[in-house]
Copies of this chain bind each other. A is one copy, B any other.
Amino acid sequence: MAADQVHRASTFAPVNIAVIKYWGKRDTKLNLPTNSSLSVTLSQDDLRTHTTASCSPDFTQDSLTLNGKDQDISGARTQACFRELRQLRKDVEAGDSSLPKLADLKLKVVSENNFPTAAGLASSAAGFAALVRAIANLYQLPATPTDLSKIARQGSGSACRSLFGGYAGWQKGEEEDGSDSLAYEVAPASHWPDMRACILVASADKKDISSTTGMQATVATSALFQERANIVVPKRMKAMEKAIQNRDFEAFATLSMKDSNNFHATCLDTDPPIFYMNDTSRAAVRLCEAINDAAGKIVCGYTFDAGPNAVVYYLAEDEERVAGTFKAILGDKTGWEGKKGQAVKSDVQVPEGNEVVVGLLQKGISRVILTSVGDGPRKTEEHLC
């Protein structure tokens, strides 16, 4: 192989937002969770990581660049992904001596997010899914998304779900080595394509505590956490899968809201308590309730990750009364100017009696992102290096 030969492969990978939350590890080294979780994969038109993986005899060390900045790759998580993918490539090379020996070459990975880092969206999920998928493409591995999910999981737990589009589950697994802690497709995006999401990005405040640290504090100190992990979530996983199979939005949204609150309840029950939701988040909760009350049925459901941002799910048919209500209140914020945002009507009546809530949202929300359920990672010939 010529010394100047560079092998490369690129992918886009999506963000996912859990509706049954991952919180707590039973094994911190292997990133094995205390409970299963389930998420909606969001459209890559709006939120995605673009990653190119390359290798060459010219490269003298492994490297990773994100949004133009060199990243530290010495951490155990990134190393685990590199190591496992190289091993799979070695297995392939061992079976076919005509293949180039890529596993022995240094890797150069370059990543870019198409969404603002300041938005506080969990970008590590898309990031590690893209990294794993890009290297797997580079190595031409015969691995399935589920195979790769076990590797991506070790980079960032929720990354495993971003290897699938649509509606993805992550089964916690029982094995000590993590071999059955993997992601699976609950339903493709095409099964229920009308799912929409409006993300209300709260003005950047200092984050309470990182999710990695926070979840282990909850496991160690919350008197309610075991009940959530062992009893509450297993029931809700089944109910949520059923809601998705049946395209039952009311069940989907109700379970999403309950599980978000249940997760944040265990955060509050942590010693010292962890607060991710703030007064702005609570205003978003109240407005969703008011929208549902006004509709006389559940037309939207909120969920909050480890931060104050609200993700509000709704169906395309309810865009006007859900996204439209938010636009009537937050029309002057960034995010409505795109094609999706411009299409949303904003002459919508805000449910009465919500003056305090409206004031809190106008003060606390800095941008909105309108998106929808989307596909899994997409291969691309657009290379970043």
Contact assessment for B261 and A268 in the assembled complex, using a CB-CB cutoff below 8 Å: yes
- Interface positions of A from 178 to 220, Cβ below 8 Å from B: 205-206
Q: With A224-B224, A232-B224 in contact, do A257 and B271 touch (Cβ < 8 Å)?
A: yes
Whether the pair B271, A261 counts as a contact (CB closer than 8 A) is: yes
A223 interfacial contact with B, CB 8 Å: yes
Shortest distance between the CB of A276 and any CB in chain B (Å): 11
Return chain B residues, CB-CB under 8 Å to A258: 223, 271
Which of A257, A262, A289 has its CB near the most chain B CB atoms (within 10 A)? A262
Q: How far is the CB of A234 from chain B (nearest CB, A)?
A: 12
Which of A264, A266, A273, A282 has most B Cβ within 10 Å?
A: A273
Does A356 reach chain B (CB closer than 8 Å)? yes
Q: Would you call A79 an interface residue if the criterion is a C-beta within 8 Å of the partner chain's C-beta atoms?
A: no
Contact present for B268 and A268 (CB under 8 Å): yes
Residue of B nearest to A235 (CB): B223
**Can you list 25 A-B contacts with CB-CB less than 8 angstroms, sorted by A residue number?**
A205-B356, A206-B356, A223-B227, A223-B228, A223-B231, A223-B232, A223-B262, A224-B227, A224-B228, A224-B232, A224-B262, A224-B266, A254-B271, A257-B271, A261-B268, A261-B269, A261-B273, A265-B269, A268-B268, A272-B285, A272-B289, A275-B282, A275-B285, A278-B279, A279-B279
Interface residues of A (CB under 8 A from B): 205-206, 222-224, 227-228, 231-232, 254, 257-258, 261-262, 264-266, 268-273, 275, 278-279, 282, 285, 289, 356
> What 3 A-B pairs come out closest when comparing CB atoms?
A265-B269, A265-B265, A265-B268
